[in-house]
């Protein structure tokens, strides 16, 4: 069967290629997915398909039908093609025999598999279009090189930047509001990096504050039932109360202490502490709905110094601050104990023996 697509002919790297528009419902028919696991790594023309990623990407399509977005799929074809120009600007129609195409997906196999998955859930999605870049197949070595070239310079954006730009994530928009409305955070949150540069004038990363707000709000009820304004109000109220007890945060904000010096000497602004503070906030509000603000003032007596031996095997291992799951739970447990909150069995087990007794 002969098929044709609207296309633009171009040249890159001294090779002719075609930029085509295809309906999404053509993707499952045009591109098949090979189980490369049966091949040695040297013989594969593409990486092994990670099937766990497919439902997540498909859900993104189906949940955001009015605004989802994909970059072009890149594939190589193994057949003769005919380009029929309609003008002198490279516009025209690309024709090929469907049965002979035998495409190899160079970039976008997970997108293609997710599109096929989404169409099964909602066939109307198939009427939309996606751009596809088509190159002639040369050899296994060439498609391997294409895969390497297409992925060589891809850099995952930082979590902080994802949060800053994601307008669909309710917790992201709450966190951005909290950054501006809680005085101790205003101007002190790095909205780009996840790990603060050594000489950064900031105290916190946006990613750390996001995780802290998530810990605070997810345990106070069903986030989906809370409005944006309600979540912002709760978070503002809580972090404003916390800030009164975090004296060094205010010293930095007021210019009496350099953020660099605080970060070097203390863990008080570290992501693991911020997240732990968010988590104990939820427990504290539940356990003491009327007196929780006053109890937070006990944080003023916490020794946040990295030299404090209490932090060893809690969130400092071999003189380095760690932030794995065990350390997060232990830090939360340590602070809950300091505030006189009830610890559950899992939290008790995370603390060093001396701390439990």
Could you give the CA distance from residue 82 to residue 96 in angstroms, rounded to a whole number? 6
SS3 (DSSP) at 279: helix
Local confidence band at 41 (pLDDT 50, 70, 90 cut-offs)? low
- pLDDT (tens digit, 9 = 90+) per residue, 199-258? 999 999 999 999 999 999 987 765 566 789 999 999 999 999 999 999 999 999 999 999
Could you give the CA distance from residue 357 to residue 89 in angstroms, rounded to a whole number? 79
Task: Write down the pLDDT at residue 206.
Answer: 95
C-alpha distances out from residue 274 to 171, 214, 243, 278, 293, Å: 16, 11, 11, 6, 17
> Considering only 113-117, 155-159, 179-183, which range has the smallest mean pLDDT?
155-159
C-alpha distances out from residue 347 to 242, 286, 314, 329, Å: 22, 17, 11, 6
- pLDDT (tens digit, 9 = 90+) per residue, 4-33? 889 999 999 999 999 999 999 988 888 876
Helix, strand, coil percentages, rounded to 5, for the chain: 50, 15, 35
Average pLDDT over residues 28-46: 67
């Amino acid at each position: 069967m002969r098929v044709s697509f609207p296309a633009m002919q171009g040249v890159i790297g001294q090779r002719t290629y075609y930029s085509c528009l295809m309906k999404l419902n053509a993707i499952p028919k045009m591109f098949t997915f090979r189980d490369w696991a049966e091949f040695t790594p040297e013989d594969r023309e593409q990486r092994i398909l990670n099937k766990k990623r497919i439902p997540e990407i498909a859900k993104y399509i189906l949940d955001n039908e009015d605004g989802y977005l994909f970059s072009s799929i890149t594939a190589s074809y193994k057949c003769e093609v005919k380009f029929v120009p309609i003008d002198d600007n490279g516009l025209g129609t690309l024709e090929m025999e469907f049965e002979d195409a035998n495409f190899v997906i160079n970039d976008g196999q997970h997108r293609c598999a997710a599109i096929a998955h989404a169409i099964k859930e909602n066939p109307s999605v198939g009427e939309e279009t996606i751009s596809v870049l088509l190159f002639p197949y040369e050899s296994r070595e060439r498609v391997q090189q294409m895969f390497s070239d297409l992925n060589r310079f891809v850099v995952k954006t930082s979590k902080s930047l994802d949060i800053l730009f994601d307008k669909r994530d309710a917790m992201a928009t709450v966190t951005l509001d909290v950054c501006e409305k809680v005085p101790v955070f205003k101007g002190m949150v790095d909205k780009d990096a996840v790990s603060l540069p050594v000489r950064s004038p900031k105290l916190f990363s946006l990613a750390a504050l996001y995780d802290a707000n998530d810990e605070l709000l997810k345990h106070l009820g069903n986030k989906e039932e809370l409005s944006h304004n309600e979540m912002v109000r709760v978070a503002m109220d809580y972090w404003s109360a916390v800030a009164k007890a975090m004296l060094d945060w205010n010293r930095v904000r007021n210019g009496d202490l350099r953020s660099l010096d605080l970060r070097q000497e203390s863990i008080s602004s570290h992501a693991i502490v911020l997240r732990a503070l968010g988590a104990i906030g939820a427990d504290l509000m539940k356990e003491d709905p009327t007196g929780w603000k006053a109890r937070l003032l006990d944080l003023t007596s916490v020794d946040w110094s990295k030299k404090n031996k209490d932090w060893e095997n809690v969130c400092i291992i071999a003189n380095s601050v760690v932030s794995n799951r065990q350390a997060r739970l232990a830090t939360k447990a340590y602070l809950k104990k300091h505030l006189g909150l009830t610890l559950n069995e899992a939290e008790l087990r995370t603390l060093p023996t001396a701390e439990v007794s």
